[in-house]
Amino acid sequence: MGTVAATLGLVQRYPYHTITASLFILVVKALFFRKRASSLPLPPGPKGYPLVGNIFDIPTDKPWLVYNEWAKIYGDMIYFKVLGQPFLVLHTLERTYDIFEKRSSNYSDRARMPMILELMNWDYNIAMLPYGTWWRRHRRAFHEHFHPGVVAKYQPVQSREARAFLYRLLVSPENFRHHIRHAFAATIMSVAYGITVRESNDPYILNAEEALEGLSEAGVPGRFLVDLIPVLKYVPEWFPGANFKRKAARWRKVTADVAQKPFCHVKEQMAKGTAVPSLAATLIESLPDASDPRRREEEKIAQDTAAVAYVGGADTTVSAVQSFFLAMAMYPEVQKKAQAEIDQVIGSSRLPEFSDRPSLPYINALVKESMRWQLVTPLAVGHMCSKDDEYNGYFIPKGTIVIGNAWAILHDPTVFSNPLEYQPERYLKHGQLDPDARNPDVAAFGFGRRICAGRYMSDNSLYAFVSSVLAVYDIKPPIDDDGNPLQLKAEVTTGLLS
């Protein structure tokens, strides 16, 4: 879900000016301190300081690894507070299932983000909407076009873009990372709007990238004081120190363009009778009449649905494909087995099709392992607890941001032997997919009612790219000055999207 998730619920160290101001708020809040609604203890976690809580303990670099270490001390539920904001990190599948699935009505909300949602107008992003009717209407509209029964209709575009990607790799293999990004942007623009993007400097893509950069900056909790003191959103732009308002104004414009420009383009094409089939065109066709009072809201939902396909899909699957390239360069024996399967099942006279997928168990296992090995969203996206709760002998206060440590769940050595190794074989038994092997989907796409709504489309894209690339290319590590292959090591970036 790409940057769809921004950095919701991801904890980072706060700048010191933010701390000072927040202290003030906390003192005020403390004056109205609410007595705890339960006599049960809070879940265990690192002991923090008065008022600021665990601000100095919070990991900035790959927090999923640090929480994994903390779990050895505190167990599979870790509770801590940062500037009054409670967090709960869940470490095992049992806990994420109990909380996000069994108690989903209480654990499906999102943290309030005034900078992003109220000032930058990212409110079209389903992933950020508060839990409730408006989110549910968006989710339903999105699901209608991305559930497992319908995503097959996007396969021709996915295959076409996978093939165009093969050609670009042939021309300039050194730019493979750029080509991956371009391929996914092109796929989604085509699916969502029927737009064919330019090879470089495409205005839609440039605009979206700028909006996503703003999102990524504003998504760091504490980056903007207005997230801690929402009333600051009313400060006028000219006011000294109100730089955040000027930034928000610029980002608001590009963010709005991401959703509106391509959608308006489709409307114009439809009016002229020249529109090509697309998600936006289908959504527009099924809108109520212009005179219908429901039209305004329905049109907004349609516009948001198409836009979120782009912002949700632009970066995420890209990251999974990058992991796949790294894995192939590091594990040549895996690559050989995958190529042998393609050669045996398909031969060398054509490229793999979607219809071949059931006959390619090793490739399917490789797609799964590419989602597990280096997770795209190692902490998924935090869910906010809507009301006070009691669970397993502990009290969980309303407003707690609950994070499922997807990395820990998919690197549990009791479930995945040698979890740091890339081994597609772990999903196979007697040469076929083993139904009893833990499927990375249990955590790689998040949890419960907010689980990634684009995961079926993403899975198809990954299959199309992986199988096409392996059918025609060998992926190898770069060569050093003496002509020897470089020793590669998996090093991932930190952040919500790894």
In the complex, the smallest distance separating the C-beta of residue 216 from ligand HEM, rounded to whole angstroms, is 15
Nearer to ligand HEM, 311 or 471 (CB): 311
Side-chain-facing half-sphere of 256: CA atoms under 13 Å:
10
DSSP state of 97: I
* Pairing label, strands 401-404, 85-90: parallel
Which of 381, 401, 402, 470 binds ligand HEM (CB under 6 A)? It is 381
Neighbouring residues of 353: CB distance < 8 A, sequence distance ≥ 6: 159
Residues in 141-180 that interact with ligand HEM by CB under 6 A: 142, 146
- Longest Cα separation, the chain: 75
* Listed residue (260, 267, 329) closest to 477, CA to CA: 329
Reading the block at residue 178, the tokens are 């750029």
Q: Is 301 in the site for ligand HEM (CB under 6 A)?
A: no
Residue nearer to ligand HEM on the CB measure, 148 or 173 = 148
Of the residues 113, 197, 228, 376, which one makes contact with ligand HEM according to CB under 6 A:
376
Question: Which segment (40-48, 290-298, 311-319, 395-403) binds ligand HEM by CB under 6 A?
Answer: 311-319
Is 452 flagged in the annotation as binding?
Answer: yes
Contact 39, 398 (CB under 8 A): no
| CB 161 to ligand HEM: min, Å | 13
Per CB under 6 A, does 452 bind ligand HEM? Answer: yes
> Which CB sits closer to ligand HEM, 7 or 468?
7
The one among 81, 95, 139, 411 contacting ligand HEM by CB under 6 A: 139
CA–CA separation, 134 vs 136, rounded Å? 5
Q: Answer yes or no: are the C-beta atoms of 395 and 41 closer than 8 Å.
A: yes
- Pattern 403-442, binding to ligand HEM, x per CB under 6 A? ----------------------------------------
Distance CA 105, CA 264 (A): 36
Q: Can you name the residues that pair with 401 across neighbouring β-strands?
A: 87, 384
**SS3 category, 380:** coil
Site for ligand HEM (CB under 6 A): which residue of 259, 309, 360, 410?
Answer: 309
Please report where in the chains the tokens 């998996």 appear, as a residue: 490
Instruction: Decide if residue 281 touches ligand HEM (CB under 6 A).
Output: no
- Cβ 289 to ligand HEM shortest distance, Å: 28
**Pick 26 or 328: Cβ nearer ligand HEM:** 328
Please give the structure tokens belonging to residue 191.
Answer: 């699916």
CB-based contact 131:398 (threshold 8 Å): no
CA-closest candidate to residue 497, choices 329, 324, 380: 380
Q: How far apart are CA 467 and CA 357, in angstroms?
A: 9
Q: Which stretch binds ligand HEM (CB under 6 A): 66-74, 203-211, 331-339, 450-458?
A: 450-458
Tokens of 259: 């959703």
Q: Does 317 bind ligand HEM (CB under 6 A)?
A: yes
Within residues 455-474, the interface with ligand HEM by CB under 6 A covers: 457-458
**Applying CB under 6 A, does 384 fall inside the site for ligand HEM?**
no
Residues that bind ligand HEM in the complex, under the rule CB under 6 A: 1, 4-5, 126-127, 139, 142, 146, 308-309, 312-313, 316-317, 320, 376-377, 380-381, 383, 444-447, 450-454, 457-458
